[in-house]
């Protein structure tokens, strides 16, 4: 991405990581991607009762070119899927995605021909937020979790190491349908 | 046999059908007395078995149940309420037009307090025009087309159901139902009479494959433009995917066992 | 490989670049672009005139959800408007064919997500008509339905005004509107448990009775809501900016409304006082005292005033409904008596969350075998509805919301079709916008107040 990607690992990199993470999380601009019912709860988060402005995020950017965060709020239909991908591609790095609601996370209650069963079929998702629709406080929780992750996000060589470790863990993990004997 | 049941003066022993007659009197306004007791019910299919069991692995014996699915058919006069006057006005208004009552109307059903006029598809537009223009009818608003697919009613698989509302005549409502077979799914468009039906007909084409002849631009409206198939037909699968849980996988809703 | 196809096609600005295609290797490369967008552009360029084709949406802050407006512009004037819908099509109606009659409520509720109670009510009224139990719905259940519908109507109008104001650039209108809406949502949450998409109104009545303390809460909220609406009126009614932007914009007179089958605030702004609550009352609306506000200006400003007046009328109905509910004797039923249809369980918060109340479990496990059987059969199979079809319409916040339901005698809807008012009213977008300016398109569409969940279902 920038110069921070090219620093050698060490004390300087970890300081820059902390600083960059702090800067990035403190003023993320979400892209308006409200699709359905979850969009109303996302709009409610922007209003005085729940107030996303305390996190510097009240400026919902209509144009994806100036947005950092895409909150996919609502069910993604087959017709809408290319548009989602296009908007995601138009966002500049660094970008994050919260899939808000069960319809965006997994297709929700609509397991049918018209709905993409989870927006992670189309774009990479950082935070999955279940709920139908999730309360505004739940969305704020998701945003704060994302903030924590961004704060801790490794850069440069650390990032490559972390990505490889995550990939190895995912490849070695038990698939969901093979998990036996786990209640709750 | 049916004469004996419907004849109130007959003196036969009280049988299992008689309680239904009493219920019929009680709920005459709202329900057909019981499925199949209107004089000519329409068969739209057959129910096989119960509890999702059919003969084969089923040991309950319910799998052998066969019952016809009957929709209410033609109702005898008098219809009750404002329906008689409505039918008479429509018959009078159709006189001297492109189609007479007997040519255009197949039959009239009055059921649950609603009147359904089954119209032959060739004569749909003149009937609808008269519904809108005649002062006694004056159904200004057509609230839309609804398609229904009855795959087992051979020759009449696709139904298009139109509902009309008359504001000036005291919020009267009437339903017009038109059928067409699967191999010739054409119904004349009523957009020239009710322009509001534009998108409704497009939706019915999109979802059921009923082609409305004379529609200005019959294209897909809800599905992507190049989508194959017509999703709300009964022979189109629901299209879901099996869901993975910890230790199990649940099939999509249309492939699960269900009650008939 | 895709490089061969790329050279034969005209250059597509959204196609993947050559370098990316090569780096993709064996992976397939997809190009995603709009449906008839290319045809529209070709047609316009063939005209050799100064016409620009602008595509607004589907992702756009001002299109009320995922509405795609294709505008042909001649300078600042809009010469042609086409609305592209279907970006939120969820197949709800087909989904309902694979669920119980009672489970259908949870699906239809999510159509027009700003007025969930309206869809629930119209669906339940249609199912009850098919069942033939319309006269046997308890009075208290009907009153609760009226209360919920009016609360929903106010919250929907507040969103309409709020987003309309925001789209014009007045963000304060949105914050004030949503602040008032939060008051209503907290009442709804207290009664049903959810803020939105609550599956509260079920065939036969409502899911459970009102909780303790709700009458005080409603009585406390009404004055605050009134003050908030007054604040909104002060912001909007005589505001020269609002008037300048909304007067004479989105003009659709009575002829146009009748031709396009428009109902709701748009029709009432054209002068016709047509309201299904008055002309074909349901749920006991004929016993409530309220007026149907109309305007004669046929423009977006008239619709704004109509919506605000409707909110005040809804508050009158809410107060009357609350009085009646409080005067009911305690223990009045909220579900139909027929145990083969009535939803069995009462919910309560227990030690591990929300579930069947312990009283109910004690009844079905210890006291009554019939109750256990009814509970089991209703929850697993559901009730059966005699074959036939019914159409019921209610006055939603947007217009006439109709439900055409067909039963084949089974436990599932054979066909449930919803005539959504926004689907119909959005056809008027072309009539309202053509000939106007591009900024008026947004105001006009906002005054129709379409909700794409209902339009696309």
Q: Report how far residue C108's alpha carbon sits from residue C124's, in angstroms, rounded to the nearest whole number.
A: 10
Task: Name residues 41-100 of chain A within 8 A of C (Cβ).
Answer: 41, 43-44, 47-49, 60, 62, 64, 74-75, 77-83, 85-87
Test mutation, A102, A113, A179, A183, chain B, max B CBs within 10 A:
A113
**pLDDT for the residue C30:** 57
**With contacts defined as CB-CB under 8 Å, which chain B residues touch A117?**
240-241
Helix axes C171-192, C214-236, angle to 10 degrees: 170
Q: Which two tokens stand for residue A29?
A: 């601009």
H-helix segments, C47-138: 92-96, 103-108, 116-131
- Please state, in angstroms and as integers, the Cα–Cα distance from residue B188 to each residue in B119, B179, B185, B211, C282, following that order: 12, 11, 10, 8, 34
Q: Count CA atoms closer than 13 A to A57's CA, side-chain side.
A: 29
- Which chains are adjacent to chain C, needing at least 3 Cβ pairs under 8 Å? A, B
| Among candidates B223, B225, B232 on the partner chain, residue whose Cβ is nearest the Cβ of C36 | B225
Cross-chain residue pair A47–C110, CB shorter than 8 Å: no
**pLDDT for the residue C319:** 94
CA dihedral C182, C183, C189, C194 (to 10 degrees): -20
Banded model confidence at residue B70, pLDDT cuts 50, 70, 90: confident
Please give the biggest Cα pair distance in chain B.
71
Is C10 buried (19+), middle (13-18) or exposed (0-12) by CB count in 10 A? exposed
Residue B58 has pLDDT above 80, yes or no: no
Cross-chain residue pair C58–A34, CB shorter than 8 Å: no
Concatenated DSSP letters for C408-435? -SSSS-SEEEEE-HHHHHTTHHHHHHTT
Express each pLDDT in B82-96 by its tens digit: 888 888 898 888 888
Q: Count CA atoms closer than 13 A to C169's CA, side-chain side.
A: 6
**pLDDT for the residue A1:** 55
| Among candidates A78, A114, A177 on the partner chain, residue whose Cβ is nearest the Cβ of B247 | A177
CA dihedral C350, C354, C360, C361 (to 10 degrees): -70
- Residue B37: alpha-carbon gap to chain centroid: 18
Banded model confidence at residue B39, pLDDT cuts 50, 70, 90: low
Contact by Cβ (8 Å): C292, C268: yes
H or E element: which one contains C73?
A: strand C68-74
Please give the biggest Cα pair distance in chain A.
52
Q: Count CA atoms closer than 13 A to B199's CA, side-chain side.
A: 27
Banded model confidence at residue A158, pLDDT cuts 50, 70, 90: confident
* Between C418 and B76, the higher pLDDT residue: C418
Q: Count CA atoms closer than 13 A to A101's CA, side-chain side.
A: 30
Length of chain C equals: 457
What's the DSSP call for residue C17?
Answer: P
Cross-chain residue pair C110–A62, CB shorter than 8 Å: no
Q: Is the ipTM of this complex over 0.95?
A: no
B177 phi, psi to nearest 5 deg:
-120, 135
H-helix segments, C9-77: 18-24, 37-46
Is C331 buried (19+), middle (13-18) or exposed (0-12) by CB count in 10 A? exposed
Express each pLDDT in B148-175 by its tens digit: 999 888 888 899 999 999 998 888 999 9
Q: Report how far residue A103's alpha carbon sits from residue A120's, in angstroms, rounded to the nearest whole number.
A: 11
Concatenated DSSP letters for C158-218? HHHHHHHHHHHT-HHHHHHHHHHHHHHHHHHHHHHS-SSS---EETTEESSPPPTTHHHHH
Q: For residue C213, how many other CB atoms are within 10 A of its CB?
A: 9
**pLDDT for the residue C146:** 94
**pLDDT for the residue C349:** 77
Q: For residue C217, how many other CB atoms are within 10 A of its CB?
A: 16
Cross-chain residue pair A49–C197, CB shorter than 8 Å: no
Length of chain B equals: 260
Closest CA to A104 of A144, A69, A134: A134
- SS3 per-residue string spanning chain B: CHHHHHCCCCCCCCCHHHHHHHHHHHCCCCCCCCCCCCCEEEEEEEEECCCCCCCCCCCCCHHHCEEEEEEEEECCCCCCCCHHHHHHHHHHHHCCCCCCHHHHEEEEEEECCEEEEEECHHHHHHHHHHHHHCCCCCCCEEEEEEEEECCCCCCCCEEEEEEEEECCCCCEEEEEEEEECCCCCEEECCCCCCCCHHHHHHHHHHHHCCEEECCCCCCCCCCCCCCCCCCCCCCCCCCCCCEEECCEEECCHHHCCCCC
**With contacts defined as CB-CB under 8 Å, which chain C residues touch A80?**
58, 66, 87-88
Length of chain A equals: 184
**pLDDT for the residue B13:** 42
Q: Report how far residue B98's alpha carbon sits from residue B127's, in angstroms, rounded to the nearest whole number.
A: 9
**pLDDT for the residue B52:** 67
Cross-chain residue pair A112–B240, CB shorter than 8 Å: yes
Residue with tokens 């404002």: B82
| CA-based radius of gyration for chain B | 22
Is C53 buried (19+), middle (13-18) or exposed (0-12) by CB count in 10 A? middle
Residue B259 has pLDDT above 80, yes or no: no
**pLDDT for the residue B10:** 39
Closest CA to B169 of A44, C279, C134, C418: C279
Test mutation, B219, B220, B222, B224, chain A, max A CBs within 10 A:
B224
| Among candidates A111, A114, A176 on the partner chain, residue whose Cβ is nearest the Cβ of B252 | A111
Is B125 buried (19+), middle (13-18) or exposed (0-12) by CB count in 10 A? buried
Residue A126 has pLDDT above 70, yes or no: yes
Closest CA to C292 of C262, C268, C270: C268
Query: Quick one: closest CA in A to C189, which residue?
Result: A135
A132 interfaces chain C, CB cutoff of 8 Å: yes
- Which chains are adjacent to chain A, needing at least 3 Cβ pairs under 8 Å? B, C
Express each pLDDT in A81-124 by its tens digit: 999 999 999 999 888 999 999 999 998 889 889 999 999 899 99
The angle formed by the CA atoms of residues A138, A143 and A146, to the nearest 5 degrees, is 130
Across B31-40, B177-186, B216-225, least confident range = B31-40
H or E element: which one contains C349?
A: strand C347-350
| Among candidates A79, A112, A175 on the partner chain, residue whose Cβ is nearest the Cβ of B238 | A112
What's the DSSP call for residue C365?
Answer: I
C428 phi, psi to nearest 5 deg:
-75, -5
Q: Report how far residue B4's alpha carbon sits from residue C235's, in angstroms, rounded to the nearest whole number.
A: 74
Residue B25 has pLDDT above 60, yes or no: no
The model carries a pTM of: 0.87
Q: What is the mean pLDDT of each run of 10 residues along chain C (457 residues)?
A: 41 65 66 62 65 81 79 86 90 90 91 92 93 89 94 94 87 90 93 89 89 91 93 91 89 89 92 91 91 91 93 94 89 82 79 80 86 87 88 93 91 92 90 87 90 89
Q: Nearest CA to CA, how far is A33 from chain B (Å)?
A: 20
| Among candidates B224, B238, B246 on the partner chain, residue whose Cβ is nearest the Cβ of A176 | B246
Each residue of C289-326: b (16+ CB within 10 Å) or e?
ebebbbbebbbbbbbbbbbbbbbbbbbebbebbbebbe
Test mutation, B49, B140, B143, chain C, max C CBs within 10 A:
B143
Residue B203 has pLDDT above 90, yes or no: yes
The residues with which C68 forms a beta bridge, in sequence order, are C84
Closest CA to C378 of C325, C340, C324, C405: C340
Q: Report how far residue B95's alpha carbon sits from residue C428's, in angstroms, rounded to the nearest whole number.
A: 35
């Amino acid at each position: 991405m920038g110069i921070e990607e090219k620093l050698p690992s060490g004390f300087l990199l970890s300081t820059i990581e902390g600083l960059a993470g702090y800067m990035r999380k403190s003023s993320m601009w979400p892209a308006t991607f409200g699709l359905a019912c979850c969009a109303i709860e996302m709009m409610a988060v922007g209003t005085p009762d729940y107030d996303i402005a305390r996190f510097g995020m009240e400026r919902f950017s209509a144009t994806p070119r100036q947005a950092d965060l895409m909150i996919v709020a609502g069910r993604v239909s087959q017709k809408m899927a290319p548009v989602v991908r296009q908007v995601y591609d138009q966002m500049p790095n660094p970008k994050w995605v919260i899939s808000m609601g069960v319809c965006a996370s997994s297709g929700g209650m609509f397991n049918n021909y018209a709905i993409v069963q989870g927006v992670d079929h189309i774009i990479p998702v950082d935070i999955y937020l279940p709920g139908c629709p999730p309360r505004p406080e739940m969305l704020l929780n998701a945003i704060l979790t994302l903030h924590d992750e961004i704060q801790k996000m490794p850069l440069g060589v650390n990032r490559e190491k972390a990505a490889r470790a995550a990939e190895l863990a995912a490849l070695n993990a038990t698939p969901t349908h093979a998990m036996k004997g786990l209640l709750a | 046999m049916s004469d004996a049941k419907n004849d109130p003066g007959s003196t036969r022993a009280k049988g299992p059908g008689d309680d239904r007659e009493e219920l019929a009197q009680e709920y005459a306004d709202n329900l057909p007395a019981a499925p199949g007791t209107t004089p000519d019910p329409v068969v739209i299919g057959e129910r096989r078995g119960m509890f999702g069991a059919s003969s084969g692995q089923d040991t309950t014996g319910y799998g052998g149940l066969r019952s016809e699915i009957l929709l209410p058919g033609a109702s005898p006069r008098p219809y009750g309420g404002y329906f008689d006057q409505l039918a008479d006005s429509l018959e009078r208004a159709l006189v001297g037009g492109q189609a007479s009552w007997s040519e255009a109307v197949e039959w009239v059903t009055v059921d649950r307090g609603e009147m359904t006029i089954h119209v032959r598809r060739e004569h749909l537009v003149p009937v609808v025009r008269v519904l809108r223009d005649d002062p006694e009818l004056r159904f200004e608003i057509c609230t839309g087309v609804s398609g229904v697919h009855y795959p087992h009613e051979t020759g009449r698989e696709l139904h298009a159901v139109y509902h009309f509302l008359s504001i000036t005549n005291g919020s009267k409502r009437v339903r017009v139902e038109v059928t067409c077979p699967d191999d010739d799914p054409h119904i004349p468009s009523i957009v020239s009479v009710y322009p509001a039906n534009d998108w409704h007909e497009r939706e019915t084409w999109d979802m059921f494959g009923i082609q409305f002849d004379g529609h200005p631009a019959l294209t897909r409206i809800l599905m992507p433009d190049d989508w194959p198939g017509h999703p709300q037909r009964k022979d189109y699968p629901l299209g879901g995917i099996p869901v993975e849980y910890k230790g199990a996988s649940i099939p999509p809703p249309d492939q699960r066992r269900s009650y008939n | 490989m895709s490089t061969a196809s790329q050279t034969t096609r005209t250059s597509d600005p959204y196609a993947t670049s050559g370098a990316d295609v090569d780096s993709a290797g064996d992976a397939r490369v997809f190009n995603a672009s709009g449906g008839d967008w290319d045809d529209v552009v070709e047609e316009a360029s063939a005209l050799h005139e100064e016409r620009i084709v602008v595509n607004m949406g589907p992702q756009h802050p001002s299109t009320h959800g995922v509405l795609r407006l294709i505008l042909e512009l001649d300078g600042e004037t809009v010469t042609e408007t086409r609305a592209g819908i279907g970006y939120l099509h969820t197949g709800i109606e087909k989904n309902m064919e694979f669920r119980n009659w009672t489970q259908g409520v949870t699906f239809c509720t999510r159509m027009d997500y700003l007025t969930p109670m309206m869809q629930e009510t119209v669906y339940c009224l249609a199912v009850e008509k098919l069942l033939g139990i319309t006269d046997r719905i308890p009075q208290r259940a009907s009153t609760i339905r009226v209360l919920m519908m009016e609360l929903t109507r106010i919250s929907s109008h507040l969103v309409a005004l709020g987003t309309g104001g925001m789209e014009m650039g007045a963000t304060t209108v949105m914050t004030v509107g949503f602040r008032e809406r939060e008051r209503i949502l907290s009442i709804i949450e207290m009664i049903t448990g959810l803020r939105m998409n609550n599956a509260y109104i079920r065939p036969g009545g409502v899911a459970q009775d009102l909780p303790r303390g709700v009458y005080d809460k409603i009585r406390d909220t009404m004055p605050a809501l009134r003050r908030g609406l007054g604040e909104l009126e002060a912001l909007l009614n005589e505001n020269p900016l609002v008037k300048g932007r909304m007067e004479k914009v989105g003009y659709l007179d009575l002829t146009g409304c009748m031709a396009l089958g428009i109902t709701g605030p748009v029709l009432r702004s054209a002068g016709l006082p047509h309201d299904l609550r008055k002309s074909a009352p349901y749920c006991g609306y004929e016993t409530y005292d309220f007026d149907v506000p109309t305007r004669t200006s046929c423009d977006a400003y008239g619709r704004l005033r109509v919506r605000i007046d409707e909110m005040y009328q809804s508050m009158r109905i809410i107060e009357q409904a609350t009085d009646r509910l409080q005067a009911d004797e305690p223990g009045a039923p909220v579900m139909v008596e027929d145990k083969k249809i009535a939803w069995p369980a009462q919910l309560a918060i227990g030690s591990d969350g929300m579930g069947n109340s312990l009283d109910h479990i004690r009844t079905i496990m210890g006291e009554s075998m019939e109750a256990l059987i009814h509970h089991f059969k209703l929850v697993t199979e559901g009730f059966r509805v005699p074959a036939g079809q019914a159409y019921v319409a209610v006055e939603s916040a947007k217009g006439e919301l109709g439900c055409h339901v067909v039963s084949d005698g089974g436990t599932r809807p054979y066909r449930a079709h919803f005539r959504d008012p926004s689907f119909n009213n959005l056809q008027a977008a072309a009539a309202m916008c053509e000939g106007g300016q591009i900024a008026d398109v947004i105001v006009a569409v906002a005054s129709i107040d379409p909700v794409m969940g209902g339009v696309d279902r």
